[in-house]
Amino acid sequence: MEAVAKLRNCPMSPRKMRLVVDLIRGKDVTKALHILKFTKKEASVWLEKLLLSAINNWEQKHGEGQADKQQLVVKTAFVDGGTVIKRFQPAPHGRAHRIRKRRNHVTLVVSATNQN
């Protein structure tokens, strides 16, 4: 009983995204949404949309309105490196410095735990 949401080629370095993903891994969905809402990093905006998408995917899979009855948890959340766009910037004495514009892929898995 789990649902997956993926974000591909997000224009941010994986290292910056992992800082925020580590905050919500293993947390309750409502608590994770509150954490993302009040985090002042750009990654939190991307992850909030992704988490809402994962919740919606779970509801589509198991029926509308079922997310309120079940306690959803962020079961798995990880960030992988994506494509790297390479550019060159002029440097002093006729040299060039390489600029790497990194991207990442984020995967969120939302799972239900039964309340007894």
b/e sequence 47-62, b meaning 16+ C-beta within 10 Å: bbebbebbbebbbeeb
Domain ranges of the chain: 2-113
Kind and range of the H or E run holding 20: helix 14-24
Topology (CATH) of 2-113: Ribosomal Protein L22; Chain A (3.90.470)
- Give residue-wise pLDDT tens across range 22-40: 999 999 999 999 999 999 9
DSSP for 34-63, written as a single string: HHHHT--SHHHHHHHHHHHHHHHHHHHHH-
Return d(Cα 73, Cα 28) in angstroms, integer: 4
In whole numbers, what is the pLDDT of the chain averaged over residues? Answer: 92
Residues 82-102: what's their mean pLDDT? 96
- Confidence check: pLDDT of 48 > 70: yes
- Rounded to two decimals, the pTM is 0.89
pLDDT on residue 1: 81
